Amino acid sequence: MSERLRQLITFWQANPTDAFLLFAIAKEYEKAGNDAEALAWYERLRSTDPQYLGLYYHLGRLYERLGRLPEAIETYRTGMRLARESGDAHTWSEINAARLEIDPMDEDV
């Protein structure tokens, strides 16, 4: 485990609902090539703070890499809906571009 990851986990233990820390821990595991741990932390973030928009692009990409395309598409759709509801056109556009790469015929969003 890297020193950065150790520090992030220590910070998270002091504040277990901090969405940014959950996201940062997931990204560190992903960077280290530990997709299983990254997935667990992304899913923890989703259950703790489902409004954290940065989650949906990265979780969708991880699902894609794991070959779990239906879950990737559903994750992208959820992120796009939340981005639209919050008025975040930039995030909506990024998530939509990722979704269209794997589901170009889907116009339901």
Asked if 27 contacts 58 with a C-beta cutoff of 8 angstroms, the reply is: yes
The answer to whether position 109 is within a domain reads no
**Confidence class for position 107, pLDDT limits 50, 70, 90:** low
Residue 106, pLDDT above cutoff 90: no
Q: 38 or 103, which is more confident?
A: 38
The answer to whether position 108 is within a domain reads no
CA dist., res. 95 & res. 70, Å (int): 15
Residue 101: which H helix or E strand, with range?
helix 89-102
- For the stretch 65-89, pLDDT in tens is 999 999 999 999 999 999 999 999 9
The answer to whether position 92 is within a domain reads yes
pTM as predicted: 0.91
Percent of the chain whose pLDDT exceeds 70: 96
Q: How many CA atoms lie within 13 A of 47 on its CB side?
A: 6
The answer to whether position 22 is within a domain reads yes
Residue 52, pLDDT above cutoff 70: yes
